[in-house]
Structure 1
């Protein structure tokens, strides 16, 4: 990963009416230290983030990512991000992107322990090469998330619908998938329902109908999935959010993992059972996802 730029943000209240936030930004060298040792992002993973694709200098799906940042802040009892300030910061960092694919991360932590001010910053780096995943596809294994489908509603303090900095479990799941000889994992509940991948949303096709697991089950509402649904609906396909049994993942005509950086990666096998890849539709979705979208 090649770093391109980074920006510290002095967060302002969500009701701040100023029109220019330039004096609240401070560029810094992403190769050099910038956060205080006591920041809770490092101490406890106490914060939230978003990852945006930046294509030829254009940040993708900014509105959807900011909406999800606000949603995560609410779930984690963090100050509500000022959308005008974050939009201005995103535009400033995106100006350093240049041609090609990049990834921008928006990060908001609770700040230094014992102090009331949160820490906010943005980074920009070159995106990994996802050509193989998009064209050849990926095989996945299902892994038990360790809770039943109704747990997020019964235990909201688990923050299962927030995109938090606490990603150790997600990374451990990907390592376990690799140990099992697969490319990625799909989480399922202990009572047998499909949730999401560690860094992606699951999309299934049966005939002309496309389904993704219901976001209210304590999973992230995928920004790329929202774009794909819009594209598919424009093509005349049916789309839906549903509770998805694990068997449906195996039996569906086709499946994809969708994310802001990898885009649409077709699933070639689930727990060793091969799946058909819809090559034409995958290429069409990725062409759409690589086009400028706000």
Structure 2
């Protein structure tokens, strides 16, 4: 069985024609060979969306939530609506095709397709995941960077696509390089009017006393799949959960904080803007053990 697999969807959306009337719903192809047209708008304009899904022992984590978010992102970009049944089938088949391993991940991508064509392009890529076990214990050094938008940008300027998981990742890569220049591992975005938002590839979760919290909704940030699962875990411990609009200075007064995402899971913040940040190793271990258990 292969270490990575690629499946190309024939009809990623029921609202658009298939690429081949006689072809199956999806086809496994060689991931080492070119498959994408040079004129595909995903390549030339970054005009598309994606989801990354964690996998363990052949089970995708929060697949329903990821598919809902995939559809939400498509709606914001006015892409043809993903056929969720077709995507689910391709994702599960790609996982089954992949050589078993401790941890894996799947990336689902939908683009607007070749310029001038009405058919979107869709594919599913599955591979073994890097080993994040030390990061889940040792934590990450984080700096706060201004995203340059107000916290209410999702309402005031929906055309900026805040809250959509798009292929336009140049800014996210740029902030990662800036973090490294500042001696940090990762970033928390703040709004131009001074509120905590999210990481470039993660959701911010923080502890205050017996509460586990995350920045409020409607901030132009992603609806966190991993954060939702962690809220269920916290509630099982008797903790309260909720959403709170807060500043970086208020975050710095928290009892602990994490950057959480589908593949890395819960990475505790060990320093914030160069200042040591308290960690809760027991809660961190419980969070990651719980998230890993959802894959079995």
The separation in 2 between residues aligned to 1:14 and 1:260, in whole angstroms, is 29
Q: Which residue of structure 2 aligns with residue 40 of structure 1?
A: 41
**What's the CA shift for 1:220?**
0.4
**What's the CA shift for 1:72?**
0.2
Q: Secondary structure, in 3 states, of the residue corresponding to 1:268?
A: strand
Q: Secondary structure, in 3 states, of the residue corresponding to 1:23?
A: coil
The separation in 2 between residues aligned to 1:78 and 1:57, in whole angstroms, is 30
The separation in 1 between residues aligned to 2:153 and 2:102, in whole angstroms, is 41
The separation in 1 between residues aligned to 2:103 and 2:136, in whole angstroms, is 14
2:27 is the counterpart of 1:31 = no
Number of aligned residue pairs: give it: 289
Q: Which residue of structure 2 aligns with residue 156 of structure 1?
A: 158
**What's the CA shift for 1:3?**
5.1
Aligned pairs for 1:1-294 within 5 A = 4-10=4-10, 11-13=12-14, 23-97=24-98, 98-293=100-295
- In structure 1, list runs of 5 or more residues that go unmatched: 17-21
Q: 1:12 to 1:48 in 2, by over 3 A?
A: closer
Q: Deviations over 1:214-235 (max 9, x none)?
A: 2310000111001111111122
What is the alpha-carbon root mean square deviation over aligned residues?
1.8
The separation in 2 between residues aligned to 1:152 and 1:32, in whole angstroms, is 39
Q: Secondary structure, in 3 states, of the residue corresponding to 1:251?
A: coil
What's the TM-score, normalizing by structure 2? 0.94
The separation in 1 between residues aligned to 2:7 and 2:127, in whole angstroms, is 12
**What's the CA shift for 1:99?**
2.4
Q: 1:255 to 1:64 in 2, by over 3 A?
A: same
Deviates more, 1:123-132 or 1:164-173: 123-132
- In structure 2, list runs of 5 or more residues that go unmatched: 18-22
What's the TM-score, normalizing by structure 1? 0.95
- Spell out structure 1 runs of 4+ moving beyond 3 A: none
